[in-house]
Structure 1
Amino acid sequence: MTTNKKKLLITQTLAACGRALLQERDDIELVEFPNLISAADFQALLTAHAPVHGVALGATRFGEAELEAAKDMKVVTRIGVGFDAVDVPALSRRKVPLMVVGIANSPSVAEQAMFMMLMLAKRANELHSLVRDGQWSTRLGKLPYDLFGKTVLIIGFGRIGTRTARRCQAMEMNVLVYDPYVSADEIRKAGFEAVADLDAALPRADFVSIHCPKTPETIAMFNAARLRRMKPSAYLVNTARGGIIDEAALYDALTSGKLAGAGLDVFAQEPPPVPNPLFDLPNVIIAPHVAGVTWEAVDRMSEQTARNILSVLDGAPIRQNVINQDVLG
């Protein structure tokens, strides 16, 4: 009888390997929905299928209204690690765990951060255009730079920041780490230099790579004042969340010679409005928020998402993947 089954809403972006783990259970019923569904349509879907016991989200927002529509939500999961679109306090009030995929996509994001650093330092866009446009004779006016011997400042020493730091170290860079929530001893034991004062550290960095969550504390962390503290020869890379960098201030810094370049996988508004003045700058590398969405990462995240859901339904949540630890007994 389907009435005894746990009903799960899963976005269509859940890969086959994750879906298979759920489909092999005879006590689960799956309902698929598009990733970019509107809030009103998603609430209507939850209402139509209520009671709904679990949901696997892509970019869909989730909060009090969705919990009310679902009637009997047991677990909310993200096919990813960011959760700024989820109302965590609302889930906690109802004792519903919010789960993320842990380390599943962290290698992919760390690689993208390194890719953007290399693209910027090696002036990939500019040199590509130079050859394409028949400007070969001007090549010595656009010499690239090495990462070797440069200083990189990693903002955030979590799953992704730690991997990025190790990759930078392998490139023989000097690695500074700023994370007020990680002890200096832990950072030093990992082989890196801990810095306690972000403003004092910025003038030392040739590259700054952002790997912290988007919170009220980090919104506009890189405003005009912070950008002015960076070297005019420095590069700024953000593969974390849009809004951590003030984009208008970044444009001003890039066009006034106060910053050498930037790599952006994320934006304050997604998708960002076009035309966008940042997109026309030759010293800016842009991507559509896909740092953690490689083929391999999608499989890893989808499988972990399925395991997260099953762990809660089976009464043994994977504790390290629960964001709101207050709901655990």
Structure 2
Amino acid sequence: MATPPCVNGRRETTHGTGPSVVVLDGPGAGYVEGAELERSVIGSLGDVRPLIVPPRERGLLQDLAADYAILWHRVPLDAAFFERSPSCRGVVCASVGYDHVDIEAAYDRGIPVYHVPYYGTEEVADHTLALFLALERRLGALQEHVRDGGWDWRAIGDPRRLRGLVWGVVGLGRIGLAVAQRAQAFGLRVAFFDPYNHPGIEKALGFERCHALDRLLAESDVVSLHAPLTPDTRHLLDAGRLHRMKRDAVLINTARGALIDISALEDALAERRPGRVGLDVVEGEPDIPPWLRAHPRALVSPHAAFYSVPSLVELRTRAAEAVCQMITGEPVTSAVAVPRPASGPHPSVARRAG
């Protein structure tokens, strides 16, 4: 890849005179703001500017004149954007997911779309285990007990021994595999559901493969979700499937909020199927239901699983480098091309882990 000019070992950060590159984010998200890092990577290859797009003003995107867009997940790009943006040559989603982009509309106009699936695997896997351990060891309740002046170990209730429990992984991709290996290190037995993963991979990894999601839900003490959001996976866990979970099982979601039907989750928790839930993503976020914020058996974090200081730098750098590669006409190696939909969800991503 062509490298922008360097000054004292750092890439030139002044505005370029080349193609226009817009970095799109939503208000208050705090991902880019000044876009200094993107400017330092792209340098004189392009003219980089950030644009904060409030939800009520997304119609302005339809008249946006930019050659390339780096897109954060709070801003959707629909068919109208691609119809009215003839200058657009490429989009890079600064995220693992890309359900906020009308992929078919983009490809109909010859506009490639990329995403960055490799940057935060360790962080999301660690956060998944952290949610589970906090729920299983009742850390929230113990913290409140001590803050209220107590010091009684029996406040922990009746926790289970972790060794021998079954951890069910839905989607054995990069993150799902990292979670499974961590769970295995704690002595849990790992089962997984992933109809598109290689036959026999369970033998190499020492996991159990479930060919039916319902069976995985019925047999697992812990279920974690690691699938992308597609038409095929939206509300993958609806009222019926939630009811099939083991009583008092733990459900963890660090993938996409709409994998779980949030309207069905309240009743499911009341029936203790699942008994506890740890969510880093919620359908409709950041506007999440008041009952969920206050639920005593729910642990919710604000879409933070991806984050560490190095992971955010890596994500922003990879997205910007992908734009550089598109500008120079080189193969894009810093991001991954999103497959064009054929008829329905692409089989390679329909239920695979992000």
Q: What is the TM-score with the length of structure 1 in the denominator?
A: 0.89
Aligned partner of 1:43 in structure 2 is 62
* C-alpha contact (below 8 Å) 2:45/2:324 kept by paired residues: no
1:19 has 2:32 as partner: no
Give 1:325 deviation, angstroms.
Answer: 5.7
Give 1:136 deviation, angstroms.
Answer: 3.6
1:202 has 2:217 as partner: yes
Give 1:160 deviation, angstroms.
Answer: 1.3
Aligned partner of 1:183 in structure 2 is 198
1:138–1:196 distance in 2 versus 1, CA, 3 Å: same
Map of 1:174-323 to 2, 5 A cutoff? 174-274=189-289, 276-318=290-332, 321-323=336-338
Aligned partner of 1:111 in structure 2 is 126
* C-alpha contact (below 8 Å) 1:188/1:194 kept by paired residues: no
Aligned letter for 2:314? Answer: R
Aligned letter for 1:27? Answer: L
Structure 2 counterpart of 1:30, from 42, 48, 68: 48
Map of 1:141-160 to 2, 5 A cutoff? 142-160=157-175
* C-alpha contact (below 8 Å) 1:123/1:283 kept by paired residues: no
Aligned partner of 1:5 in structure 2 is 18
Aligned letter for 1:204? Answer: E
* C-alpha contact (below 8 Å) 1:160/1:211 kept by paired residues: yes
What are structure 2's unaligned runs of at least 5 residues? Answer: 1-14, 26-30, 342-354
Separation of aligned partners in 1, 2:127 and 2:18: 41
Separation of aligned partners in 2, 1:231 and 1:3: 58
Separation of aligned partners in 1, 2:285 and 2:272: 27
* C-alpha contact (below 8 Å) 1:74/1:313 kept by paired residues: no
Structure 2 counterpart of 1:78, from 65, 71, 93: 93
Q: Deviations over 1:176-233 (max 9, x none)?
A: 1111111232343233222111111222211000000111221121122212221112
1:17–1:169 distance in 2 versus 1, CA, 3 Å: farther
Give SS of 1:154's match: strand
* C-alpha contact (below 8 Å) 2:244/2:273 kept by paired residues: no
Tell me which stretches of 4 or more aligned residues in structure 1 moved more than 6 Å. Answer: none
1:141–1:110 distance in 2 versus 1, CA, 3 Å: closer
* C-alpha contact (below 8 Å) 1:76/1:99 kept by paired residues: yes
Q: What is the TM-score with the length of structure 2 in the denominator?
A: 0.83
Give 1:163 deviation, angstroms.
Answer: 1.3
Segment drifting more, 136-145 vs 14-23:
136-145
* C-alpha contact (below 8 Å) 1:219/1:244 kept by paired residues: yes
Aligned letter for 1:55? Answer: A
User: Aligned pair count?
Assistant: 318
Separation of aligned partners in 2, 1:3 and 1:187: 50
Give SS of 1:248's match: helix
Q: Deviations over 1:263-307 (max 9, x none)?
A: 111111121245x21222111100111211332211110011011
Segment drifting more, 176-185 vs 313-322:
313-322
Give SS of 2:82's match: helix
Give 1:19 deviation, angstroms.
Answer: 3.2
Aligned letter for 1:210? Answer: L
Aligned letter for 1:32? Answer: P
Give SS of 1:72's match: coil
1:146–1:96 distance in 2 versus 1, CA, 3 Å: farther
Segment drifting more, 215-224 vs 85-94:
215-224
Q: Deviations over 1:50-106 (max 9, x none)?
A: 2x2100011211132222343221110111111111000011111211111121012
Give 1:18 deviation, angstroms.
Answer: 3.7
1:222–1:3 distance in 2 versus 1, CA, 3 Å: closer
Segment drifting more, 101-110 vs 132-141:
132-141
Give 1:162 deviation, angstroms.
Answer: 1.5
Higher helix share: 1
Give 1:137 deviation, angstroms.
Answer: 4.2
Separation of aligned partners in 2, 1:313 and 1:140: 60
1:128–1:219 distance in 2 versus 1, CA, 3 Å: same
Give 1:28 deviation, angstroms.
Answer: 1.0
Give 1:3 deviation, angstroms.
Answer: 11
* C-alpha contact (below 8 Å) 1:54/1:74 kept by paired residues: yes
Give SS of 1:184's match: coil
- Percent of pairs with identical residues: 30
* C-alpha contact (below 8 Å) 1:18/1:304 kept by paired residues: no
